[in-house]
Structure 1
């Protein structure tokens, strides 16, 4: 993972907290826990996926609860940070690679690989997702 740092804005402790976010999402997803997934987002956070835009923590929770019963049933996800880019005090961009692993599979299919942008903001001492957006890793 590469990091652009301004020590006054973003120290190693903050980088570790931000870098832990993908693991938190992977755990919430593996449990198909829509509440835990939505708790990663700020109240006014946004989830942007191909063909999907959901705004607000409550709406994100509802969207994921429905998806875990439907299209994401039995799936898992993988993801790893590839870069952290501090944007200013209390704001950071986290870039990751990963994707949704199909139900019954143990490996990520190339067609399901994504790159994602996570915009996190620190609110009341906690890093939360303000925006999560992903797109296919490889051109169609």
Structure 2
């Protein structure tokens, strides 16, 4: 196995570790990881990470790059969805200032987000194309 294979495995393991790390902190409830945020998106993330592990072990660079881009896309979608959910979570409170103050008590935990994005970026960067020598 080459360095690119090991880098792909490390990137996939970072994505899995990021999915298990806390991503949001709710004061009374506690920390939420990816699975607590949304089970469907978490299943997609873990399936792509597993596919990336298989792709890096079997030296499929195109599949590894696809998994990296798909992971970044799903992570961006999740971040936007979580942002809107946090800002609208207390919309049932009739006073706008009180609802805004209540939504500010929910905090992002950036470790999980950073691990997933760095793992996906590692997969994209180190899955470079194989350079074929041109024989004349």
- Whether the TM-score (by the shorter chain) exceeds 0.5 is no
Structure with bigger gyration radius:
2
User: Greater helix percent: which structure?
Assistant: 2
User: Greater strand percent: which structure?
Assistant: 1
Q: Which has the higher contact order (CA 8 A, sep 6+)?
A: 2
Q: What is the TM-score with the length of structure 2 in the denominator?
A: 0.31
Q: What is the TM-score with the length of structure 1 in the denominator?
A: 0.30
